[in-house]
Amino acid sequence: VIVSSVQRHARHSFFWQFVFHTYTTAFTLVNGNGTPKAKEYSLHQKQIFLGLGAISYSACIGALPLAFMNRYTLKSPLMQLVVRKLLPAPLLGLTSAFTVAMVRSPEFDNGIEVMDRNGKVIGVSKKAGEKAVMETALSRAVLFGTTFFLPEVLMYCLQRARFVKNPRALGPVRMFVIMSVLAGMLPVSFSMFPQCGEIKRADLEPEILASTEETEFFYNRGI
């Protein structure tokens, strides 16, 4: 996160964002819901291919504004503000959510287990899988989008207030601010939705409802 936020060249930005998304994709793959089972294909291989595609696409999207600016030598203050300060946060948030959705897409297709209040598995629900993936993707977007956006706002305020007078100190201060925001946002992101998510009876498939009279259902959201 720190290295990606300070890049000024498209090639370097692509490399470091590729590294960043590789790590987050591997984390997502390990900490997803393990319900989906493959019948006619290797689920693990499919997720790896989807992950590699999502990583490459996300790194390209992240580096595209810098490539566009450098290619057409757009050096105006407004363009610098948009490309270097405003765009990175929403782009990183969206691409982080995109990689989660791609890697865990088998949970959309095959569904995940839903349980009653006693932990007994009632069935496998695609709607619960969709809800789990979307909640995780949203929490990941908030985590990294905020981690890119808030430090820029704080650094702008510090510079306006002339809190940091030595230009050489701006780099270490920026690094400290990013680390602090990331450390603060981690628990916020993980607590946005409960680990054991709840889904309403009306939101489940009819075939699951036909086998039980329970009114409360739960699922493992993953991280």
**Is there a contact between 117 and 218 (Cβ–Cβ < 8 Å)?**
yes
Amino acid identity for residue 181 in this structure: V
Which of the 8 DSSP states describes residue 62?
A: H
> 136 near 100, Cβ under 8 Å?
yes
Cβ neighbours of residue 83 closer than 8 Å, sequence gap 6 or more: 65, 66, 68, 69, 74
Q: How confident is the model at residue 38 (pLDDT cuts 50, 70, 90)?
A: low
The residue ranking higher by pLDDT, 5 or 154, is 154
| C-alpha 214, offset from chain centre | 33
Predicted TM-score (pTM) of this structure? 0.87
> Rounded distance, CA 17 to CA 61, Å?
10
Q: pLDDT tens-digit profile of 143-186?
A: 999 998 998 889 888 888 877 777 777 888 888 999 999 999 99
> Tell me, what DSSP letter sits at residue 117?
T
